[in-house]
């Protein structure tokens, strides 16, 4: 939601593009670590309690973001916001696997990704609209209200899906051993890595798109919001297609098709940018990168979590750690080129796309 306001935030807080991108890096790093905490905690304490704590923390951190006096404080508070927000992401995946198996789980993951894709459509549009009547600080006020609303909705409407008898005990040492075993598991790690690097390709656009569209190609924040929404609609459409056909083709096959598309479109974006071909062909390639995630993300998660009912929260946490940990690395790399160069964004995007497909071809 605050991406359209990233250039104005940079000016308002007298920061560099790299420093402003660190607010995004801090957030996704917090999300990664928050999932690492909330996922195993939900295996031990149940899903409901960590979820409620995370949602309340997200709302409170959003308030602090709205009143921050400097870029340094914003980076710190954004980390806390991400730390709290990670609980909802990791626990949602675990709840699906509590309730569904096999192909049905893959369908539900696709639906989860599709519903989650509604936010990228509306959030930048709302953010761009808010910038017409408020500043970037107003965006965080709205996020605080959304966080509070989610807390009360979860309080009333989310039941406990992990019975006490199925919860695992053992503390931090047992959790660390479990995470280490998952990282070495050839039936888990390649899917987890492909998921993370494919997400990294999309995150390069998320972290660098506003600078490219607004500063390089001189479009308005509102137009960037619209372009972001168009891309997200492609993602939602393919996630919906995936949920309909996964029973016929299987998650692994759909995942590979999606990774081929991400790799091809990210390389096309790099070639088009290097050739200075203009914004229209580049936007088509970027649309392909984002839309293909509708095939990649749900099926990578379904394949990775297929056979581990005893550690769903931990498996979901490790997926989230690699996903958002890579995102935390991608954002500053994109920002190294400054605010008036799109080439670093597409270089990082293409690199992530190639690695994601290579991991899948070699190890899956």
- Dist. CA 87–CA 158, nearest whole Å: 14
Structural domain for 91, as ranges: 3-363
Nearest Cα to 260, choosing from 357, 358, 350, 346?
357
Check: CB of residue 295 under 8 Å from CB of residue 357: no
- Dist. CA 123–CA 216, nearest whole Å: 23
- Dist. CA 125–CA 226, nearest whole Å: 6
Number of domains in the chain: 1
Token code pair at residue 168: 């695992």
**Would you state the pLDDT for residue 170?**
61
Continuous H helices in 134-220:
136-157, 171-184, 189-211
35: CB partners within 8 A, 6+ apart: 86, 87, 89, 90, 316, 317, 319, 320, 321, 324
Stretches where the chain sits below pLDDT 70 are 117-118, 120-121, 169-172, 174, 307-312, 337-339, 364
Q: What is the pLDDT of residues 27-42, one digit of tens each?
A: 988 988 898 888 888 8
Token code pair at residue 95: 């709840």
CATH code for position 8: 1.20.1250.20
27: CB partners within 8 A, 6+ apart: 78, 79, 81, 82, 85
For the whole model, what pTM was predicted? 0.73
**Would you state the pLDDT for residue 109?**
78
Check: CB of residue 259 under 8 Å from CB of residue 299: no
- Dist. CA 10–CA 221, nearest whole Å: 14
Residue 47 phi/psi, 5-degree rounding, is -80, -35
């Amino acid at each position: 939601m605050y991406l359209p306001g990233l250039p104005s935030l940079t000016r308002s807080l007298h920061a560099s593009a790299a420093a402003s991108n660190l607010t995004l890096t801090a957030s996704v790093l917090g999300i990664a670590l928050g999932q690492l905490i909330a996922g195993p905690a939900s295996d031990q304490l149940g899903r409901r309690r960590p979820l409620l704590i995370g949602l309340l923390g997200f709302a409170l951190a959003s308030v602090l973001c709205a009143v921050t006096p400097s870029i340094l404080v914003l980076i710190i508070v954004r980390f806390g916001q991400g730390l709290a927000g990670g609980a909802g992401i990791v626990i949602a995946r675990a709840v699906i696997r509590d309730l569904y198996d096999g192909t049905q789980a893959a369908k539900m993951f696709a639906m989860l990704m599709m519903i989650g894709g509604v936010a990228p459509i509306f959030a930048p549009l709302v953010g761009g609209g808010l910038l017409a009547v408020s500043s970037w600080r107003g965006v965080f006020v709205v996020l605080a209200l959304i966080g509070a609303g989610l807390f009360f909705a979860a309080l009333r409407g989310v039941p406990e899906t992990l019975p006490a008898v199925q919860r695992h005990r053992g503390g931090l040492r047992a959790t660390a051993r479990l995470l280490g075993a998952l990282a070495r598991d050839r039936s888990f790690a390649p899917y987890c890595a492909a998921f993370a690097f494919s997400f990294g390709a999309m995150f390069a656009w998320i972290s660098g798109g506003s600078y490219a569209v607004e500063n390089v190609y001189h479009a308005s924040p509102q137009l960037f919001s619209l372009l972001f929404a168009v891309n997200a609609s492609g993602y939602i459409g393919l996630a919906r297609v995936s949920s309909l056909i996964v029973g016929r083709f299987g998650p692994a096959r759909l995942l590979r098709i999606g990774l081929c598309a991400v790799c091809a479109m990210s390389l096309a974006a790099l070639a088009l940018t290097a050739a200075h071909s203009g914004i229209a062909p580049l936007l088509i390639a970027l649309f392909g990168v984002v839309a293909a995630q509708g095939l990649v993300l749900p099926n990578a998660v379904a394949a990775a979590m297929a056979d581990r009912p005893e550690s769903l929260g931990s498996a979901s946490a490790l997926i989230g750690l690699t996903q958002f940990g890579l995102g935390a690395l991608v954002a500053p790399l994109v920002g190294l080129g400054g605010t008036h160069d799109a080439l670093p964004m597409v270089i990082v995007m293409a690199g992530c796309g190639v690695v994601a497909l290579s991991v899948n071809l070699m190890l899956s």
